[in-house]
Chain A
């Protein structure tokens, strides 16, 4: 794994129509930490990730990876700079096999690394090894989530953006996914930005939390402090 990166987002304004979805968002994430991005539907969480990864072009503001600006770079260049974005709804390429999905991620690495990286992935996620020749369309929801996270890791990211990894998964699988994200930080020292509806499980593994509402940051604190804030929980987090 390459060296984890710090993320600095400053005054980001972005959206799809005249009204901005992100209205001056600033956040920072230290290398090797998990930042939970919370808030109601439509608060701008997904747009924040899509803007960081380049799928949405910001109107103003800056995105820095360590000290290098990736603002307005193309998604493919941002991916090559070390940002892995696992989009909402998972982004499995269902027409390809499990292994082909993984191989797409390897395309940006040297060919001599491919075999070792693949066998490392199958060791870490045996379920993918068992199903490597199957169409990705045949995987269950939990297996797909593992596939897209494993695929993102194969790009050797310095920053991992996860959009609602628990969406549509059974509670037991959610716990496994969250445990995997925590291990990625603890064992690989990865920087993670974790967007979640499920605030409770996200804050349980996060170092810090950020609450978005109507495109603005309304709260930012240690994960523990956010989870303990009665008013915030009732207003924005729903638990």
Chain B
């Protein structure tokens, strides 16, 4: 029973990181119908930015804030310079462009920062919490991870639901031509969508890297699992993305805990294949024609 509690809470904390990546993919997918394969690479890059700021200033939180801002700027910048020109071409072009972007960012990080593994500090202690003598399987850092992603997801939901910017984002995502005919400048809206996705990715990078080390490919495995979480949730659904991340995190935590940690990656892949075979539209999305 105690093991079960440990694995569950540990899974929730990791799952929220997958949720953040999934949410960033959903944001971009809903707006532009592009799967952004560079999302993990962007998060890796902004985490390097955070590390440099932290090393220079000694302030974790300054590095944290700068990385989030960098994610916002990087997302918007890439949409304007790289993605938009590919948008008018056949859909596959944009997908290949994001793969190219990933390779470029990882190569650039290698040139600038070198390929060695660097440790990245957590926001809070990584010593597991206990209730009396019972280990809970989650550390203050893990609690912060789950809370930060949850807060970001709720903030995003409120913006989408209750603000003019959110209405623009939704109208553009659901019906870009109608939005344009009503005067919505959808170019700006799409740039904003990518910027918000960049911010979420940066958050995920900051939260997960203390457990993985930082190196040019450090976000690859996280990205695959975040992508899996997005597919589980149905690429169209923000609620599905968060739920998919939680389901996957807890599931993989059980697999790692009960069956052995070397099975985690295979189990993640198996989950992806299973969902694609059984419910290709995801658990939270109405099946509909889509292009990749």
Interchain Cβ contacts under 8 Å between A and B, 5 examples: A76-B184, A87-B181, A91-B177, A95-B174, A155-B183
In the bound complex, CA of A104 to CA of B177 (Å): 13
1/0 contact trace for A143-166 toward B, CB 8 Å? 000000001000100000000000
1/0 contact trace for B155-195 toward A, CB 8 Å? 00000000010011011001101111111111000000000
Chain B, interface SS category = helix
Which interface residue of B168, B174, B178, B182 has the most chain A CB atoms within 10 A? B182
Collect the chain B residues with CB atoms within 8 Å of residue A155's CB: 182-183
Q: A76-B186, A100-B167, A107-B164 are in contact. Are A93 and B178 (CB under 8 A)?
A: yes
| Chain B interface residue count, Cβ-Cβ cutoff 8 angstroms | 17
Q: A76-B185, A91-B175, A93-B174 are in contact. Are A104 and B180 (CB under 8 A)?
A: no
In the bound complex, CA of A122 to CA of B34 (Å): 38
Q: A107-B164, A151-B182 are in contact. Are A75 and B171 (CB under 8 A)?
A: no
Collect the chain B residues with CB atoms within 8 Å of residue A93's CB: 171, 174-175, 178-179
In the bound complex, CA of A76 to CA of B186 (Å): 8
A156 CB to closest chain B CB (Å) equals: 10
- Residue A133 at the chain B interface, CB threshold 8 Å: no
Does the CB pair A96–B177 fall under 8 Å? no
- Residue A219 at the chain B interface, CB threshold 8 Å: no
Does the CB pair A53–B181 fall under 8 Å? yes
In the bound complex, CA of A79 to CA of B178 (Å): 11
Does the CB pair B180–A74 fall under 8 Å? yes
Collect the chain A residues with CB atoms within 8 Å of residue B171's CB: 93, 96, 104
Does the CB pair A87–B178 fall under 8 Å? yes
Q: A93-B175, A95-B174 are in contact. Are A107 and B167 (CB under 8 A)?
A: yes
- Residue A124 at the chain B interface, CB threshold 8 Å: no
Chain A, interface SS category = loop
- Residue A183 at the chain B interface, CB threshold 8 Å: no
B166 CB to closest chain A CB (Å) equals: 10
A125-179: which have CB < 8 Å to B?
151, 155
Collect the chain A residues with CB atoms within 8 Å of residue B168's CB: 104, 107
Does the CB pair A104–B179 fall under 8 Å? yes
Chain A residue with Cβ nearest B176: A75
Does the CB pair B174–A75 fall under 8 Å? no
Does the CB pair A79–B182 fall under 8 Å? yes
Chain A residue with Cβ nearest B178: A91
Other than the given A76-B184, A87-B177, A107-B164, 18 more pairs (CB < 8 A) read A53-B181, A76-B183, A76-B185, A76-B186, A87-B181, A91-B178, A93-B171, A93-B175, A94-B174, A95-B170, A96-B167, A96-B174, A100-B167, A103-B164, A103-B167, A104-B184, A107-B168, A155-B183
A178 CB to closest chain B CB (Å) equals: 22
- Residue A105 at the chain B interface, CB threshold 8 Å: yes
- The 3 A-B pairs of least Cβ separation, nearest first, read A108-B183, A79-B183, A75-B180
In the bound complex, CA of A11 to CA of B270 (Å): 60
B6-52: which have CB < 8 Å to A?
none
Among candidates A55, A74, A95, A107, residue contacting B182 with C-beta atoms closer than 8 Å: A107
In the bound complex, CA of A107 to CA of B180 (Å): 11
- Residue A80 at the chain B interface, CB threshold 8 Å: yes
